[in-house]
Amino acid sequence: MAKGDVPCPTVNYNHTLNSESECYMRITKEHLRCTPFSSSAPRRLWPFALAHFCRILRWWPKVKGIVPWKRVSSECQLTANLDRDLHAFGSYCIGHDAQESKLVENTTLDDRGLEGAFLMSDHSTPTLWMWSFKFKKPMKMCDGIFNRTYPFRDPYILEHPSALSHEDICAMHETDGGFDQDNVTVPQYDLRCHAAPVHHAPSHAASIERKQ
């Protein structure tokens, strides 16, 4: 077992377990489709939408009234923070770089705040992931300031409107395609780094061609 895992007793396999797992899959897929749609976020951000919903799902009360996050050991208490998790995916966010960040040229005077769209809370540190409109990539930031508005819907809410325009948003959606389009290659992001794209995932159509 990994550090922080909590063993829970369970029954042997029976016919109801399959239906329960299918139910959780259906709920997860429905929220995965609704979350980016409600914020007008591009398809390339779906891994963050999925991870964010899975964190929210752990706050849903179960039959005995104990949410899963309350059952983890003390080593995991850092990640179990309701106030930190309950931010809307794709909502307006200002994140701050660490003062020693490479992106800060003047550590005393440079503005360390970046405007972006909230993606999710980090799994192991008290930081957050956001889509930076300035650098046009996901970034891990700290000291987030949140607002329940959606820049991908209305970019004019930004303090620096030149960082995002309706044309930019349309171009991202045109590049990524819709969630029902399996023949479009979407960038994949490595959550273990400071998040530049690491590779392109092969499209579903390309996978079928290789198999044939």
Alpha carbons within 13 A on the beta-carbon side of 192: 1
- The Cα–Cα gap between 179 and 169 comes to 16
Q: CA 29, 30, 34 angle in degrees (round to 5)?
A: 115
Q: In the structure encoding, which two tokens stand for residue 37, read together?
A: 């749609």
How confident is the model over 53-66, as a mean pLDDT? 78
CA 68 to chain CA centroid, Å, is 20
- The Cα–Cα gap between 81 and 59 comes to 10
pLDDT of 207: 41
Between helix 15-39 and helix 46-57 the angle, nearest 10°, is: 120
Q: Domain boundaries in the chain?
A: 15-181
Q: Report how many helices (DSSP H) and strands (DSSP E) the chain contains, helices first.
A: 5, 6
85-120: per-residue pLDDT in tens? 889 999 999 998 765 555 555 544 445 689 999 999
Alpha carbons within 13 A on the beta-carbon side of 48: 32
Kindly report the number of other CB atoms within 10 A of residue 31's CB atom. 17
- The Cα–Cα gap between 72 and 94 comes to 30
- The Cα–Cα gap between 174 and 104 comes to 33
Three-state DSSP state, 23: helix
Share of the chain above pLDDT 90, in %: 25
How confident is the model over 136-163, as a mean pLDDT? 91
pLDDT of 191: 57
**What single string gives the DSSP state of each residue in 79-104?**
T--HHHH-S-TT-EEEEE--TT-TT-
- Looking at per-residue confidence, does 41 or 181 come out higher? 41
Q: What is the pTM of this model?
A: 0.74
